[in-house]
Amino acid sequence: MSGRIGIGYDIHRLVEGRKLFLGGIEFPYGKGCLGHSDGDPVLHAVCDALLGALGLGDIGEHFPDTDPRYKGIPSSRLVGEVKLLLDKSGYAIDNMDIIVITEEPKIFPFKIEMKKKICFLLGIEESRLNIKAKTNEELDALGRREAVACWAGVSLSGRE
Ligand code: MG
C-alpha cells in the first residue's frame, strides 16, 4: 500500500449571459463562469487534484480548450473521465477537501447538494469529502465579484 496526494486550483471569470455551475450544481445567480466547458471551477479543481495525485499532468492536457469536443461540456463528464483514470490506476480516494472562494453567491445553502453531487461523481462516501466556503474579504478580483476560485486537495491510497 502507498499513499499519494494531489492539489488542484482553478479560477473562472464571472460574466453575464452564462449559467453558473459550481460543483456540478446550477446556482440561481445572474452571472456564470466564462469557460470553454460549462466553466465549473470546483469540478476543474477536483479533476486537477486527482490528476496531480496520479501523476497524470493537468486538466488542460487531457481536455484542451481548443478541442471542439469539450465546448460547452458539463464538467461532470470531465470528472467522469478522470474517475476512469483513477479506477484504472488501482488507487482509491481516502479523502478530499475543497475550498470554494466567492463573495457571491453564498455557497452555504447549496453545500449539502454540492457534496452529494461530487461524492456521486467520484463514487465515494460523504464522510470522505469536506467542502469549505470562504469569501476573499472583498480583496482583488474575487472580492470584486469578478471571479470564482476553488482549491481541492486529495489523498489516495492504493497498491504500489
Ligand atoms: Mg477551469
Options 3.30.1050.10, 3.20.20.80, 1.10.3470.10, 3.30.1330.50; CATH for 2-158 is 3.30.1330.50
Q: What's the mean per-residue pLDDT of the chain?
A: 96
Beta bridge mates, 95: 155
**What pLDDT score does 1 carry?**
77
pLDDT tens per residue across span 29-39: 999 999 999 99
Helix, strand, coil % over all residues of the chain, rounded to 5: 35, 35, 30
- Cα 9 to middle of ligand 1, angstroms: 9
- Cα 139 to middle of ligand 1, angstroms: 21
- Cα 65 to middle of ligand 1, angstroms: 9
Lowest mean pLDDT across 6-10, 70-74, 143-147: 70-74
- Cα 126 to middle of ligand 1, angstroms: 24
What are the sequence ranges of the domains in the chain?
A: 2-158
pLDDT tens per residue across span 49-64: 999 999 999 999 999 9
- Cα 57 to middle of ligand 1, angstroms: 14
User: Does the pLDDT at position 136 exceed 90?
Assistant: yes
- Burial grade of 57 (CB within 10 A; 0-12, 13-18, 19 or more): exposed
Handedness of CA 45, 39, 69, 120 (dihedral sign): positive
- Cα 43 to middle of ligand 1, angstroms: 8
- Cα 159 to middle of ligand 1, angstroms: 30
User: Does the pLDDT at position 159 exceed 90?
Assistant: no
- Cα 54 to middle of ligand 1, angstroms: 19
Lowest mean pLDDT across 25-29, 44-48, 70-74, 110-114: 70-74
- For the beta carbon of residue 154, count every other beta carbon within 10 angstroms: 29
Question: What average pLDDT does range 139-151 have in this prediction?
Answer: 98
- Cα 52 to middle of ligand 1, angstroms: 15
Is the separation of the CB atoms in 122 and 78 below 8 Å? no
- For the beta carbon of residue 8, count every other beta carbon within 10 angstroms: 26
Question: What average pLDDT does range 143-156 have in this prediction?
Answer: 98
Confidence bin at 42 (pLDDT 50/70/90):
very high
- Cα 36 to middle of ligand 1, angstroms: 8
**What pLDDT score does 13 carry?**
98
Question: Structure pTM?
Answer: 0.97
Confidence bin at 160 (pLDDT 50/70/90):
low
- Cα 88 to middle of ligand 1, angstroms: 24
pLDDT tens per residue across span 67-109: 898 898 999 999 999 999 999 999 999 999 999 999 999 999 9
- Cα 18 to middle of ligand 1, angstroms: 15
